Amino acid sequence: MNINYNNIYAVVISGLLLLTVATHSALAQEKTTARIISTDAGVTDVLIALGMTKQIVGVDVTSQLPAESKIPRLGYHRTLSTEGLLSLNPSLIIGSTHMGPPETIAALKTYPLTLMQLDIASNEAMLAENIKRISALADKQQEAKPLLQHIDSRMLVIKQQQLPSNTRVAFLLHMEGRGLRLAGKGTTGNDIIALLGGENAATHNSYRSVSAEALLSLEPEVIIIAGQKGEKSVAGLMQSNPMLRYTPAGKQKKIIAVESHLLVAGISLKAIDAVAELSSQLYPVATP
């Protein structure tokens, strides 16, 4: 038998080269994710769900962490300090496209670290894409699969419990002592209404202060209140705005609450869970 040593040599060399490339790639990935700062509550949720809590060295003030956590908080994501971020010696900073101010972002791009800015998710597809990008960067694609499956299962619940078509929905921010803010187009409140299958009763953009009289004139059939005290937000709203009892939503007892901290990062993993819960609360009374 003739043995072609040249072919064997070529196979061995190719294998060694592939092993070297894979090793270098793994080391580079490990270096990139060694010290992570998250400036977005939704990103923080994903990192924790991917099992990367130990690599997080700093978060923004909106991120939800275990009570015992001692991870430093670095302020609001729109007003970040370059010095504050760099003081934690991060290898990776992940946030949204709303990170700021611009001079901080410009400065970070001159330092030897990885900066990833994700679009604020307005639906389940964008949330899934953000999870895929984070998991690919961290080489956590296997760990991401249960998260993607969870989104699919929650969306199945939501789609099976849609509001009747053209249901007028008002989404309110209820800040104690600061009146009511009605969610218009381009807000997470508007995105949640869309996921539920409803129609936003507001036609303006962003959030706008609204009086009880103006809200009454919109004739919402469902009112969703985002407050800091869950169910107590409904009682507080009705106590300070008794006129809302005369809206279609008030008459049919379709005024429900959601925790406001779930909305700060767009459609996040926690927001998807909250929307599924809202759809379950509304569905029995929405069914003819």
pLDDT digits (tens, 9 = 90+) for 245-260: 999 999 999 999 898 8
Give tens-digit pLDDT for 109-155. Answer: 999 999 999 999 999 999 999 999 999 999 999 999 999 999 999 99
- When pLDDT is averaged across residues 213-234 and rounded to a whole number, the result is 85
| 29-68: pLDDT as tens digits | 677 889 999 999 999 999 999 999 999 999 999 998 888 8
Which residue stretches of 109-257 are H helix?
124-137, 141-160, 188-196, 212-218, 232-240, 248-251
How far apart CA 86 and CA 89 sit, in angstroms, is 5
Which tops the pLDDT comparison, 29 or 88? 88
DSSP string of 264-282, one letter each residue:
TTSS-HHHHHHHHHHHHHH
Listed range (4-13, 54-63, 225-234) with the worst mean pLDDT: 4-13
Contact 88, 58 (CB under 8 A): yes
Predicted local confidence at residue 214, as pLDDT: 92
- What value does the mean pLDDT of the chain take? 89
Q: What is the pLDDT of residue 25?
A: 63
